[in-house]
């Protein structure tokens, strides 16, 4: 266990401002933002000032953006409870500390056709991901929200990137009228009724009305690795991944998935897609997973659980998986979509 990694790192607030109806952007100056700061990883932020212990527990936030050159970390958050309320009142010049970057990041493929699906604030970790992948991949992003105001900030920020952006809002005030999943199906050319047991729009609306991050999910994640590379390769890969916090895409698995896609004879004809990323409300993740399973499209999902330590000790973030329990803070928050049971 790397003790160094667990030492809280100091940070100074450069900016903390409201950027949407419910969204805040906090920019933190810190030390040494290096190659370990990869998309999908998170920081565990101490919101209380050094004089107080209230709130006692740190709060986890995904890396929204990083500026390696100037050592600036950006977090995007919405106020959902006491901790984030306190956070929203902090001003520039105040000092905080955090643990991180923690957890496992997204795979970072090259030369792929990628679809990223984000719902509400869950879209936050996708920004850094898309920024890092945009140069070497073809990316379509589907942004889902209840109202236009939910997606405006993301539309503006993702608009800086060389990616294709599609928007879905429940009230139709921006883009497609419906859910991000409805738009995903349209994008893929999937018949709305061809995939069974998906949540109806009505179910999604009622769930999305509480679209702020809720803790009602019971993710069951399983990560398997069918690939059997030689031992040396394995060890080296494991070492590299541990160091960078990123997971390498499993090539053999990709080939199997690609074959499944071909056998399905559908996506290939309608829309070629190599990889999916998704974050957002659980009902959306579950529907995205069903489509991904149905067509054999490999992908990754960012999960959330309430966290205590954030470093794998307290087990408060444990999820049931087909392989036994997994800690969202340690084995996650990024899991293979195919292995998660939502």
Ligand X SMILES: Cc1cc2nc3c(=O)[nH]c(=O)nc-3n(C[C@H](O)[C@H](O)[C@H](O)COP(=O)(O)OP(=O)(O)OC[C@H]3O[C@@H](n4cnc5c(N)ncnc54)[C@H](O)[C@@H]3O)c2cc1C
Q: Which residues bind ligand X (CB under 6 A)?
A: 42, 59-62, 76-78, 80-84, 121, 124, 213-215, 304-307, 333
Contact between 245 and 38 (Cβ < 8 Å): yes
How many C-beta atoms lie closer than 10 Å to residue 181's C-beta?
30
**Beta carbon of residue 60, minimum distance to ligand FES (angstroms, whole number):** 8
Nearer to ligand FES by Cβ, of 274 and 331: the residue is: 331
**Beta carbon of residue 157, minimum distance to ligand X (angstroms, whole number):** 13
Token reading at 177: 């009228």
Nearer to ligand X by Cβ, of 74 and 257: the residue is: 74
Token reading at 92: 């520039």
Nearer to ligand X by Cβ, of 49 and 215: the residue is: 215
Q: How far apart are CA 144 and CA 174, in angstroms?
A: 10
Strands 9-18 and 334-336, how do they pair? unpaired
Nearer to ligand X by Cβ, of 154 and 295: the residue is: 154
**Beta carbon of residue 247, minimum distance to ligand FES (angstroms, whole number):** 18
For residue 255, the partner it binds in ligand FES, ligand X, none, with Cβ less than 5 to 8 A by kind, is none
Dihedral of CA atoms 282, 321, 247, 165 in degrees, nearest 10, equals: -20
**Beta carbon of residue 37, minimum distance to ligand X (angstroms, whole number):** 14
Interacting residue ranges for ligand FES, rule: CB under 6 A: 307-310, 312-317, 327, 329
Q: How far apart are CA 175 and CA 283, in angstroms?
A: 21
State phi, psi for 238 to the nearest 5 degrees: -60, -40
Cα–Cα nearest to 175, from 183, 186, 184: 183
**Beta carbon of residue 308, minimum distance to ligand FES (angstroms, whole number):** 4
Nearer to ligand X by Cβ, of 296 and 333: the residue is: 333
For residue 165, the partner it binds in ligand FES, ligand X, none, with Cβ less than 5 to 8 A by kind, is none
For residue 310, the partner it binds in ligand FES, ligand X, none, with Cβ less than 5 to 8 A by kind, is ligand FES
For residue 314, the partner it binds in ligand FES, ligand X, none, with Cβ less than 5 to 8 A by kind, is ligand FES
For residue 58, the partner it binds in ligand X, ligand FES, none, with Cβ less than 5 to 8 A by kind, is none
Contacts of 338 (CB under 8 A, 6+ apart): 257, 289, 292, 293, 298, 299
For residue 60, the partner it binds in ligand FES, ligand X, none, with Cβ less than 5 to 8 A by kind, is ligand X
Nearer to ligand FES by Cβ, of 245 and 298: the residue is: 245
For residue 62, the partner it binds in ligand FES, ligand X, none, with Cβ less than 5 to 8 A by kind, is ligand X
**Beta carbon of residue 332, minimum distance to ligand X (angstroms, whole number):** 7
Helices (H), 265-327: 267-270, 282-295
Cα–Cα distances in Å, from 119 out to 196, 258, 311, 342? 21, 26, 26, 16
**Beta carbon of residue 125, minimum distance to ligand FES (angstroms, whole number):** 17
Token reading at 208: 């999305």
DSSP 8-state code for residue 95: E
State phi, psi for 328 to the nearest 5 degrees: -60, -35
């Amino acid at each position: 266990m790397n003790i160094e990694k667990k030492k809280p790192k100091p940070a100074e607030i450069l900016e903390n401002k409201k950027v949407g109806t419910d969204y805040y952007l906090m920019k933190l100056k810190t030390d040494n933002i290096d190659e370990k700061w990869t998309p999908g990883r998170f920081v565990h932020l101490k919101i209380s000032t050094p004089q107080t212990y209230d709130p006692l527990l740190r709060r986890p936030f995904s890396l929204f953006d990083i500026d390696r050159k100037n050592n600036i970390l950006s977090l995007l958050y919405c106020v959902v409870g006491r901790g984030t309320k306190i956070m929203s009142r902090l001003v520039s010049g105040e000092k905080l500390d955090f643990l991180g970057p923690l957890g496992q990041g997204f795979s970072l493929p090259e030369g792929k056709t990628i679809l990223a699906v984000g719902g509400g604030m869950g879209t936050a970790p996708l920004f850094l991901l898309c920024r890092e992948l945009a140069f070497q991949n073809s990316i379509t992003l589907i942004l889902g929200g209840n109202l236009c105001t939910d997606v405006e900030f993301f539309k503006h920020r993702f608009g800086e990137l060389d990616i294709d952006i599609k928007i879905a809002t429940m009230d139709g005030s921006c883009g497609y009228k419906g859910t991000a999943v409805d738009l995903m199906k349209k994008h893929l050319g999937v018949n709305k009724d061809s995939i069974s047991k998906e949540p109806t729009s009505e179910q999604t609306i009622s769930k999305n009305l509480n679209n702020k991050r809720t803790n009602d999910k019971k993710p069951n994640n399983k990560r398997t690795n069918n690939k059997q590379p030689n031992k040396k390769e394995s060890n080296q890969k494991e070492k590299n991944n541990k160091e960078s916090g990123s997971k390498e895409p499993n090539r053999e698995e990709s080939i199997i998935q690609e074959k499944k896609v071909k056998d399905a004879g559908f996506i290939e004809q309608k829309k070629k897609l190599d990889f999916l990323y998704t974050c957002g409300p659980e009902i959306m993740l579950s529907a995205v997973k069903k489509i991904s399973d149905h067509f054999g499209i490999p992908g990754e999902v960012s999960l959330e659980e309430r966290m205590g330590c954030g470093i794998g000790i307290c087990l408060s973030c444990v999820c049931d998986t087909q392989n036994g329990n997994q800690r969202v803070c340690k084995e996650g928050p990024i899991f293979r979509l195919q292995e998660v049971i939502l």
